[in-house]
Amino acid sequence: MTGWRPSVVLKLLENLKKQEALMLNEEQNRKTHDLRVRISMEEERVEAEMERLQMALAGRKMVELAKLSSNGDGDAAAVDMALKGVLAGLERVMKAADCVRLKTLKGILDVLTPMQCVDFLAANIAMQLRLREWGMKDMNVNQDNN
């Protein structure tokens, strides 16, 4: 929702290894594998919490509150309280996702040598720029079609 998926950065690292742009020793490979396992579990937890919040937002109780509120029959305070709970949950999920992103990046940089860090970060920036460029091009195509 608010940024890149940690698994994408780990895939970038794997691709750099396959292309031999980064040569990792056995210990570095082991540490990156361990990091991948840990981050995957944390990513799944964040996704599960986000799914739970989405289900709560689309749940019967929330829909009924929204209908009552839009008809003027409902208790506005109840709707506000329900929404505040969901928004607080979303904030927690976004903070957790940011934490997983930070752990991923820090974990990778802790494993690599300083020169490997430079190469990795340069490749990551290049990937981010290409994704942004692609997104902007797609956005322009959509605007032209409207």
45, 48, 59, 80 from 91: Cα distances, Å: 15, 15, 19, 16
What does the domain layout of the chain look like in residue ranges?
6-145
Is the pTM higher than 0.85? The answer reads: no
13-49 b/e with 16+ CB inside 10 Å = b?
Answer: beebeeeeebebeeebeebbeebbeebeebbeebeeb
**Rg of the chain, C-alpha, whole Å:** 21
The amino acid that residue 58 corresponds to is A
Instruction: List, as one string, the DSSP characters of 36-49.
Output: HHHHHHHHHHHHHH
pLDDT of residue 94: 93
- List, for residues 94-143, the tens digit of each pLDDT value: 999 999 999 999 999 999 999 999 999 999 999 989 988 988 887 777 77
Q: What is the largest CA-CA distance in the chain?
A: 67
Task: Say if residues 6 and 101 touch (Cβ distance below 8 Å).
Answer: yes
Residue 122 to residue 46: CA distance in whole angstroms? 28
5-49 residue pLDDT tens: 899 999 999 999 999 999 999 999 999 999 999 999 999 999 999
